[in-house]
Amino acid sequence: LREAYAARHPESLARHQAATEVMPGGNTRSVLFYDPFPLAIARGEGARLWDADGHEYTDFLGEFTAGLYGHSHPVIRAAIDAALDGGINLTGHNLLEAELARLVTQRFPSLERLRFTNSGTEANLLAITAARHFTGRRQVMVFKGAYHGGVLTFAGGPSPVNVPFPFVIGTYNDSAGAAALVKEHAADLAAIVVEPLQGAGGCIVGEPGFLRELRRLASEAGALLVFDEVMTSRLAPGGRQAQLGIRPDLTTLGKYIGGGMSFGAFGGRADVMAMFDPRAPGHLGHAGTFNNNVLSMSAGIAGLSRVYTPEAALTLNARGDALRERLNASCRAHGLALQFTGLGSLMNLHGTGAAIRSVDDVPASERFVKDLFFFHMLEQGFYLARRGFTVLSLPLTDADLERFHAAVEAFLQRYGPVLP
Ligand code: PMP
């Protein structure tokens, strides 16, 4: 499959080789690299992508969830055009930022006040900093398998590029373990930061009881509970927190909320966020040239108010649940130890039939299955992440989902016999 891939993509290979002369490994975004070389994507439209060699793909990755609206959605495009007409570097409070802030606070009521950033990474850095200042404590509890940004990653153990906060690392969905760690570190614990579903970790669902226990433990210890909803906010009109009925102290957002433009936000309790009020003596500074950039603000307003309405969120995620159930039924019908984990519009293939409650349950051997799956699906015209991450976005039609299911069926037929 690798050889067939290389033969099919000479232009991608040439572009990759040329790029290595100016960027290390030809890459500026680690997640996009894979062997033998990554595809060069030339263009997108709706739910379709074309690579530099002219192959067409149906996009089942959607920019790792930021591409919810698809490529060149007319409403988003009009909003960006309108912003361009008014000038893009206004160097002032503009007419859009408070409007987007109001839409976000209405949608996610635990964000009583919020501030914008340029990325989900920055949002998490600022939320952690806010919690440390508010509590006067230093330590930050996170979970193995978590991804909170390029400098806050715990997927394969803590990364050497991580910001050196003193982290306490728990096991996802292990309530008793979390309770023991909180007890041990209570006096200096500033925050518990958690994804309600671990996205990069492999779409591992946070169990409601575990997340409720974190809420209780944080309150008891006087630490702040931070929900990283950069990915999961799309799962329901009010995000995963609304589905679970859990009110975190702080929440971080990103991805689609900026309409597909650069975006991040952090917010929550008004008393915590008041630390950033520039009218207050001794306030915390939070600067950023592009925090309120009009392209993200305008696209975000259009997206939340006119496209990803609460009804649209419910429909998209119900379609995702239905697709995942069908894919899993196919895996079972073939008698294979494979499954798609996830919730709503987010799913990930795994090479085991057993329950996955944390990254410890993910077998190392699944790498082989995921590689096969990735190259098979590309050949069939479906673009998804090398690690099996699959994301539904709005322009995908029911016929696209049918074709995706058929391609998965073909994978199970063709490779089922050779899978471990
Ligand atoms: N948190 C989570 C849960 C994410 O999935 C991501 C991005 N994949 C981030 C934070 C970081 O966001 P960004 O890439 O915008 O920095």
- Cα-to-centroid distance, 254 and ligand 1 (Å): 7
Buried/exposed code over 154-174 (b: 16+ C-beta within 10 A; e: otherwise)? bbeeeeeebbebebbebbbbb
The pTM of this model reads 0.98
Is the pLDDT confidence value at 420 over 90?
no
Q: What distance in Å separates the CA atoms of residue 412 and residue 173, rounded to the nearest whole number? A: 30
Which pLDDT tens digit goes with each residue over 304-343? 999 999 999 999 999 999 999 999 999 999 999 999 999 9
Angle at 205 between CA 200 and CA 211, to 5 degrees: 110
Q: Which amino acid is residue 407, in one-letter code?
A: A
What's the whole-number mean pLDDT along residues 214-229?
A: 98
**DSSP state, residue 361:** G
Kindly state the average pLDDT of the residues 212-231: 98
At residue 1, the pLDDT reads: 84
How confident is the model over 43-54, as a mean pLDDT?
Answer: 98
Ligand 1 pocket check for 264: Cβ under 6 Å: yes
pLDDT at 170: 98
**Amino acid symbol at 49:** L
Confidence of residue 180 (pLDDT cuts 50, 70, 90): very high
Domain 74-307 has CATH 3.40.640.10: yes
- 280 pLDDT band, cuts 50/70/90, is very high
Reported as a single tens digit per residue, the pLDDT across 333-346 is 999 999 999 999 99
User: Model confidence over 391-418: pLDDT tens digits?
Assistant: 999 999 999 999 999 999 999 999 998 8
One-letter amino acid for residue 2 of the chain = R
Q: Whose CA is nearest to atom 12 of ligand 1?
A: 120
Place of tokens 């009881």: 209
Intervals of CATH 3.40.640.10 along the chain: 74-307
The answer to whether 210 and 196 are in contact (CB under 8 A) is no
For helices 74-85 and 294-302, angle between their N-to-C axes, nearest 10 degrees: 140
What's the confidence (pLDDT) of residue 145? Answer: 97
Verify whether ligand 1 is closer than 6 Å to residue 97 (CB atom): no
Tens-digit pLDDT profile for residues 150-164: 999 998 888 999 999
Name the strand (E) or helix (H) holding 239.
Answer: helix 239-244
The answer, yes or no, to whether any atom of ligand 1 lies below 6 A from the CB of 149, is yes
Distance between Cα 148 and ligand 1 center (Å): 6
Distance CA 44, CA 319 (A): 23
Tell me, what's the ipTM?
Answer: 0.99
* Average pLDDT score over residue span 350-363: 97
Average pLDDT over residues 206-215: 98
